[in-house]
């Protein structure tokens, strides 16, 4: 991953770059102490399904998820719908808004 100095939002992956393995912690572990979550935003450049898998328990107490889907779109939406979310594509984007109720008031 290339991260320009001080510009974390401009990070990008290059296929010809060096591979570095890093330890990861499921977000379920990180958020285990949070009783209720209103909104989770996911924008992880193609790793959406893996992130959602790590949120399995957290999704049960989350009201809405907004995510950009670029890969495995149907699998991601199916996982969210199985957790009780109603998903709709946001106009003119690759983002989806998934909420437990249509009138969540978040957007």
**Residue ranges per domain, the chain?**
25-99
pLDDT tens readout for residues 2-54: 666 665 555 666 555 667 787 888 999 999 999 999 999 999 888 899 999 99
pTM: 0.75
Q: Which fold has domain 25-99?
A: Rossmann fold (3.40.50)
Residue closest to 56 by CA, chosen among 88, 29, 86: 29
What is the tens place of the pLDDT at every residue in 54-84? 999 999 999 999 999 988 999 999 999 999 9
Helix, strand, coil percent content, the chain, rounded in steps of 5: 25, 20, 50
Cα gap 20→96, rounded to integer Å: 30
């Amino acid at each position: 991953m290339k991260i320009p100095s001080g510009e974390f939002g401009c990070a990008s992956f290059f296929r010809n770059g060096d591979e570095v393995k890093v330890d990861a912690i499921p977000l379920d572990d990180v958020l285990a102490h949070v009783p209720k979550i209103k909104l989770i935003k996911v924008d992880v450049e193609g790793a959406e399904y893996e992130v959602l898998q790590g949120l399995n328990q957290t999704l049960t107490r989350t009201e809405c998820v907004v995510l950009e889907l670029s890969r495995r779109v149907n699998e991601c939406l199916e996982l969210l719908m199985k957790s009780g979310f109603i998903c709709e594509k946001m106009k003119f984007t690759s983002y989806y808004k998934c909420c437990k109720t249509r009138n969540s008031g978040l957007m």
